[in-house]
Structure 1
Amino acid sequence: MKKLKFIFTLLIVMLIIVSAAWLIPEKIPYISKLQLIFGALFTLLLPLLLLCIIFAALATKNLHVSIERLSIGGVSLLFSRPEEIFLRTTRAFLETKRTLYKIDSNKDNFDETLDSYFATYQFFRKEMAILNPSKKKQRDLYNISVRIISELNMFLTSHQNNYRRWYKITIDENKIEFLNSQGQCEERKDVKPHLLPIGELQKYYYDYEAMLKGFNDINTFFIDEVNAKLKVNISKWESE
């Protein structure tokens, strides 16, 4: 019923706009009425259509307006409830982020996993902007977003810079260095990074165990806390 009302209102508004064309005088110097109408349509089509949609949606109470979502002038037009949009977009996003729920230290490239974690951090910072924590249905989703951002921020701050610097130098120079018992830097002459599987190479990182524990803590957080709210289907990864 609401959809019918929305469509009916939209048609009425568009009919009014088209009807207004007949108010234009029949003869205008140097330009025909038809040329004027087509010129106006091509010039104003997008803003007129946008105004029609906004008016019709507001008339049927089927529109939410939120700041800081990309649309026009920084204003986002949402044609569903914010919590429904948030759940759909976050579930679809997290369905592609296995390493948030299950890290495989033998197969997953930690450098690429850090990229994925940072992308997740940015994603939730953007998407939570449509939520209003003062509304009960949106408050829990807002709070879990804040937790996700906080947990990922702590992990990335602790591990990202150090690991990326070590990984880049190791790959670029094709050598593995370590500190000996005297605290001096030495090179492993018997190992070449380019000849190692990624899982073996990563074990030479000087803070490997702490980083792996950090990954496992993130996995536990997303399985136990995040999935309790967002209900992502993670069963497909259990057998991997």
Structure 2
Amino acid sequence: MRTIETTGKTPEEAIEAALDQLGVGPDEVEIDVVSEGRGGLLGIGSEPAVVRVTLAEGEDETSAESEAAPETQPDTLADFSPFADDMDDDYDDFDEFEEEEETSEVVKVGYDVLSTLLNKMGVSADVYLREPYTGDDEGPVFEIEGDDSGLLIGTRGETLRSLQFIVSFLVSRRMGERTNLMVDVEGYQQRRYDSVANLARRVAQRVAQRGRSIPLEPMPPNERRQVHMALADRSDVETESDGYGDRRKVVIHPK
């Protein structure tokens, strides 16, 4: 079993570097985020993200280990199927996805990948499929609930965004094409969307009254989209995204 540690500006970059170095796909390794890294002013005091990536054991070793400890978790994502023999029965409740075979497959693979990651991380939580919060959500939405689920949010949702990136990355690899999905933890994203939309409306009111532009705080793409949507019907202000990377934000202008 081979283990390496790699670094990057973000956990996602570090994971991609490790996969390139090992020459394997994400479903052939175990991933441990050692550090999410830290930004710094002009690079001063910044720390890179660090991940530890371990190649899964071979089939012979896995068989021997399973015999000695039958409760041991599977070594790769491909070995794990939370639906077992009654997979079709479990999906009878997902009526909204039965009409589209491709979407149904994304749901199955997404559930498989997310449940496996949580299991390997030692997180005690359940995964549910739920209705999108807004009509703008793309793909299936997975809700995580449980005693340990709060650990998956992180500061300002950074851990949750990293988890969603990894899940989307692994599901896309399994599906053979880019796949859209959303991961949420006990309604955190809904509360965040509501907060962002309310902030946008308050600031828009000030912009309209004062006649000058006001920038909002930097936000990830999905939250910036909520700002644009919240103010799309207003005739007195307009929105524009500005900046790059983690510093990209929405600026509200008077019309």
What's the TM-score once normalised by structure 1's chain length? 0.24
Where relative contact order (Cα < 8 A, 6+ residues apart) is larger, the structure is 1
Normalising by structure 2, we get a TM-score of: 0.23
Which of 1 and 2 has greater Rg? 1
Identify the structure with the greater helix proportion.
1
